[in-house]
Amino acid sequence: PFSVTEVRAVLGQFDQSNQFEDVRDRLVVELLYALGLRRAELLALGVDDLDFYNDVVRVCGKRNKVRLLPMIKPLKNLLKEYLSLREVLVVDANFKVLIISKHANKVSETFVYRLINKYFSHVSSKEKKSPHMLRHTFATHLLNNGADINAIKELMGHASLSSTQVYAHSSLDQL
């Protein structure tokens, strides 16, 4: 996983920018890290999956398993900023895909992979830099800060505890 320092360094690259692409790129990093999303889950998110009243994000995971994830305040603020910029680009009100290109099209899995690789290449010497690494980082940071492994299992949408324990073992190996 990435270190806290590496994640903060990447997020710091976006400070003070309110350009659509910078806000979108920061949002992609934040959603992957703050919610522990899979790349496919990120790309499947729609505007209607955001519940600002209850501060949750509705995520449809593997096997169509739905989970509600907490929308922390910094993420909520970033989502609102992004939506206001997105609104200017999207002509069709029925187009509900959350993460879009500057041309108001759905982005690809390759786009997300390249985005993560681009930003983390500046701050990390790790050989593999992928969206899944941020999911791994999410779980590891929670575990290292005392979160219950069953709670992490639920947040990640794992069907079994053994899937989550992979993160626990790598965390213990690092310690």
The encoded tokens of residue 141 equal 């940071």
CA distance 73 to 112: 24
Alpha helix stretches (DSSP H) within 13-130: 20-35, 39-44, 73-89, 109-121
Is 136 designated active site?
no
For 152-165, write each residue's pLDDT tens digit: 999 999 988 888 88
Question: Measured between alpha carbons, how far is residue 161 from residues 16, 33, 60 in Å?
Answer: 40, 20, 19
**Catalytic one of 62, 80, 102, 118:** 62
Give the pLDDT band (50/70/90) at residue 175. very low
Q: What is the pLDDT of residues 80-130, one digit of tens each?
A: 999 999 999 999 999 999 999 999 999 999 999 999 999 999 999 999 899
62 is catalytic: yes
Active site residue 119: no
Q: Is 38 a catalytic residue?
A: yes
Active site residue 122: no
Which entry of 24, 39, 135, 141 is annotated as an active-site residue? 135
pTM of the model: 0.93
Q: What percent of the chain has pLDDT over 90?
A: 81
Of the residues 24, 26, 38, 141, only one is catalytic, namely: 38
Compute the CA torsion angle 11, 12, 18, 23 (nearest 10 deg).
Answer: -10
Compute the mean pLDDT over every residue in the chain, rounded to the nearest whole number.
92
